Chains A and B, each alone.
Chain A
Amino acid sequence: SQQGEEDPQALSIQEGENATMNCSYKTSINNLQWYRQNSGRGLVHLILIRSNEREKHSGRLRVTLDTSKKSSSLLITASRAADTASYFCATGDYGGSQGNLIFGKGTKLSVKP
């Protein structure tokens, strides 16, 4: 089944810098979602981008989607220590089962104050 793969596995930056995480997937998708997980907590939805969209913004988050390259990126601008978390992309196969929301292994982001 489909699975997104995030890159890099880990990222360490200083507060105020931008953080970019990438996600690659294998087959056609309906949409792609990004989630955040703070240590010891459940995942929290950040943003959903549909296959016919190329870019989406939400506050300090910017997500791009390139269906020709089967990849997406999540940019966090002006990072804060509170952004320290793991970030996951999730996809569902186009035409596949409606419930198959498959997650990658995530990027662990550390923002140093």
Chain B
Amino acid sequence: DAGVIQSPRHEVTEMGQEVTLRCKPISGHDYLFWYRQTMMRGLELLIYFNNNVPIDDSGMPEDRFSAKMPNASFSTLKIQPSEPRDSAVYFCASSLRGRNTEAFFGQGTRLTVV
């Protein structure tokens, strides 16, 4: 398996635009996580899915953020409209059994909102 694949690697967009980040988890993993990393706040858990179902989205900062997992091999994180304070590195990760097994991270998407 190629690991967790995220796209794009870098995204620069103007304030107010819609941004869609994509993730392909490792095949067979039941859990998918979205994290955001900034210098100020560290690594924040935004939302996670179990068997394609969103379980806990309490970390999603605002209604501007939404995430979907239409099937076991694909997830999206959407920000609409984007704001400069959304600038961060967004990571997707997957694991076999949630917190009790290791999580495998993608390379991240560096988002810059100008």
Which A residues fall within an 8 A CB radius of B?
30-31, 33, 35, 41-45, 48, 88, 90-92, 97-106
Contact = CB atoms under 8 A, between A and B. Distances in A.
Interface stretch (B11-19, B41-49, B66-74, B78-86): B41-49
Contacts of A92: 98-100
> Per DSSP, are chain B's interface residues mostly helix, strand or loop, or mixed?
strand
Interface string B94-114: 010111111111111000000
B97 A101 contact: no
Given A41-B107, A44-B105, A45-B104, A98 B98 contact: yes
A101 B45 contact: yes
Given A43-B91, A45-B103, A100 B108 contact: no
A30 B95 CA distance: 16
Most chain B beta-carbon contacts within 10 A, residue among A35, A88, A104:
A35
Contacts of A90: 103
> Per DSSP, are chain A's interface residues mostly helix, strand or loop, or mixed?
strand
Given A30-B99, A92-B98, A99 B33 contact: yes
B45 A100 contact: yes
Nearest to A50: B100
B102 A102 contact: no
Contacts of A99: 31, 33, 48-50, 55-56, 98-99
A97 B43 contact: no
B48 to A, nearest CB: 4
Contact of A97 (B42, B55, B103): B55
Contacts of B42: 103-106
Contacts of A48: 101-102
A55 B95 CA distance: 24
B45 A102 contact: yes
Interface string B26-64: 000001010100000011010011100001100000000
B105 A42 contact: yes
Nearest to B40: A105
B56 A88 contact: no
Closest 10 CB pairs of A and B: A92-B99, A42-B105, A98-B98, A45-B102, A99-B48, A105-B42, A103-B43, A43-B105, A101-B99, A99-B98
